[in-house]
């Protein structure tokens, strides 16, 4: 099987580097356009209605029409905003979303006009930490957008987003620690190569489940879309934005969805490796075929996002934060200890014991998660102090009652 050679990175000619960067940009933009259209169509089917079906054949040009509409709309800037920060916030959100994809391996080594190169822009020894760092910068755009809008509800949305990212990035980073132990590297191409035979979703199932919950919370998507909850925050941090500035926030959200889906594919689903039984074909993991398997896995996660939005109601904010701090983080810490123990046993020659520890640890970790979930969900309500009866409060007469009294008096 063909794996990217570390010596391939950093030696490409300038035109090939530019072509790969433009290709990644085009891949993300087209994915966003397709994801918005497919999400609207799938949600329509889930809710027993038609999705977009007017613009273009069967509504296929609806996303393009929406983009043109946003570009041509008047950009309204409220009077009370901090103008420089207000204009800079969407840019801060969208740029890190694209930068994070630079170290995602989309395939093995291929030949492009006689030059052998990897289907990956670049790689780093700490590539996963680079992705976590870059995606963390994107939250500054949301926080600054809420603060610079000069309005109460956007500010609350920005504060919610900052607390949300801090909470769920801890659980996300802890879920990666077990992958680092097994792969022995933080390089994304190295992690994919380590899953040549067995994907980590089977070996590290608790880490995968923690990551899936964390990535939904990290991207502010339903049922964790608390920073833009229309019910209590009007529209959230982007309430005061319109036209292209609003479009940039939407673009950043969907690009982030694609990035965390690609990261889940890389860390747990074998990256660009073909799934079984396609992997039994000798040429499945060579040439340009891996790009197809990688894209299919990313779209599986994007469909999961759509499915969650169409089925689950939005959580209360205290419930959402409790899941992050009281369930995901303790479960991740316990699971790291199990994996570290199994890894040590395997390195010292006790492979059979290591497999047993890993299996027992998986069951115990899932049991711990179930217990913590049940404790949070069914905890007894706090005692409510006795309140005076309703009749003890002076209640002013209603207008209708007053008019009836006056008519009776006049009569």
From first to last of its 411 residues, what are the pLDDT tens digits of the chain? 444 556 667 778 888 989 999 999 999 999 999 999 999 999 999 988 888 888 889 888 998 898 888 888 888 888 888 889 998 999 998 999 899 899 999 988 888 888 888 888 888 889 999 998 898 888 888 888 888 888 888 888 888 888 888 888 888 889 999 899 888 889 999 999 998 888 999 888 889 999 998 988 888 887 888 777 766 777 778 888 888 888 898 898 899 999 999 999 999 999 899 888 888 888 888 888 899 999 999 999 999 999 998 888 888 888 888 888 888 888 888 888 888 888 888 777 776 767 777 777 778 777 777 777 777 665 554 544 555 555 555 656 656 654 444 554 455
Residue 331: its pLDDT value, please? 86
Question: What is the separation of C-alpha 301 from the centre of its chain, rounded to a whole number of angstroms?
Answer: 10
Tokens matching residue 209: 């489940």
Tokens 């949300």 found at: 164
Q: Is the dihedral of CA 219, 224, 226, 229 positive or negative?
A: positive
Residue 211: its pLDDT value, please? 93
Residue 115: its pLDDT value, please? 83
Query: Cα-Cα-Cα-Cα dihedral of 208, 213, 215, 221, to 10°?
Result: 150
Cα–Cα distance for residue pair 141/249, rounded to 1 Å: 9
Which helix (H) or strand (E) element contains residue 115? strand 115-118
Q: Is the dihedral of CA 179, 181, 185, 191 positive or negative?
A: negative
Residue 385: its pLDDT value, please? 52
DSSP-H helix ranges across 184-282: 188-194, 200-203, 205-218, 230-233, 243-268
Cα–Cα distance for residue pair 158/289, rounded to 1 Å: 42
Q: Where are the domains of the chain?
A: 6-274+285-315
Cα–Cα distance for residue pair 360/358, rounded to 1 Å: 6
Q: How far is CA 145 from CA 79, 94, 136, in A?
A: 15, 13, 15
Residue 34: its pLDDT value, please? 92
Residue 31: its pLDDT value, please? 94
Question: What is the Cβ-side half-sphere exposure of residue 304, based on CA atoms within 13 angstroms?
Answer: 16
Question: What is the separation of C-alpha 396 from the centre of its chain, rounded to a whole number of angstroms?
Answer: 51
Would you say 7 and 109 are in contact if contact means Cβ atoms under 8 Å apart?
A: no
Residue 99: closest CA among 74, 125, 130, 120: 130
Would you say 33 and 228 are in contact if contact means Cβ atoms under 8 Å apart?
A: no
Tokens matching residue 406: 């006056």
Which helix (H) or strand (E) element contains residue 224? none
DSSP three-state, residue 118: strand
> Bridge-partner residues for 111, per DSSP?
116
């Amino acid at each position: 099987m063909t794996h990217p050679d570390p010596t391939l990175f950093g030696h490409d000619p300038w035109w090939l580097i530019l072509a790969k960067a433009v290709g990644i940009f085009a891949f993300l933009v087209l994915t966003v356009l397709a994801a918005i259209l497919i999400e609207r169509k799938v949600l329509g089917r889930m809710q027993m209605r038609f999705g977009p079906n007017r613009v273009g054949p069967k509504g296929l040009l609806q996303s393009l029409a929406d983009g043109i509409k946003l570009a041509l709309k008047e950009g309204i800037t409220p009077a009370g905003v901090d103008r420089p920060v207000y204009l800079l916030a969407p840019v801060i959100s969208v740029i890190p979303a694209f930068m994070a994809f630079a170290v995602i391996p989309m395939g093995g080594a291929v030949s492009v006009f006689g030059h052998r190169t990897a289907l990956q822009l670049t790689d780093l020894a700490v590539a996963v930490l680079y992705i976590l760092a870059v995606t963390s910068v994107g939250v500054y755009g949301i926080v600054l957008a809420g603060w610079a809008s000069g309005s109460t509800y956007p500010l609350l949305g920005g504060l919610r987003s900052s607390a949300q990212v801090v909470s769920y990035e801890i659980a996300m980073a802890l879920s990666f620690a077990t992958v680092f132990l097994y792969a022995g590297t933080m390089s994304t191409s190295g992690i994919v190569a380590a899953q040549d035979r067995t994907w980590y979703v089977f070996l590290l199932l608790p880490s995968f489940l923690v990551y899936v919950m964390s990535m939904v919370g990290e991207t502010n998507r339903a049922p964790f879309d608390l920073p833009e909850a229309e019910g209590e925050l009007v529209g959230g941090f982007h309430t005061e934005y319109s036209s292209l500035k609003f479009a940039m926030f939407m673009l950043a959200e969907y690009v982030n969805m694609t990035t965390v889906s690609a990261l889940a594919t890389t860390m747990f689903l074998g990256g660009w490796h073909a799934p079984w039984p396609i992997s039994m074909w000798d040429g499945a993991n060579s040439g340009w075929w891996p790009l197809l398997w990688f894209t299919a896995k990313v779209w599986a996660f994007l469909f999961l996002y759509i499915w969650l939005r169409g089925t689950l109601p939005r959580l209360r904010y205290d419930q959402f934060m409790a899941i992050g701090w009281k369930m995901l983080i303790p479960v991740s810490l316990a699971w790291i200890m199990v994996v570290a123990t199994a890894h040590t046993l395997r390195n010292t020659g006790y492979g059979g014991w290591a497999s047993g520890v890993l299996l027992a640890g998986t069951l115990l970790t899932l049991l711990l998660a179930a217990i913590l979930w049940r404790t949070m969900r069914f905890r007894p309500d706090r005692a409510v102090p006795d309140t005076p009866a309703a009749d003890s409060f002076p209640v002013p007469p209603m207008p209708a009652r007053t008019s009836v009294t006056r008519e009776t008096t006049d009569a």
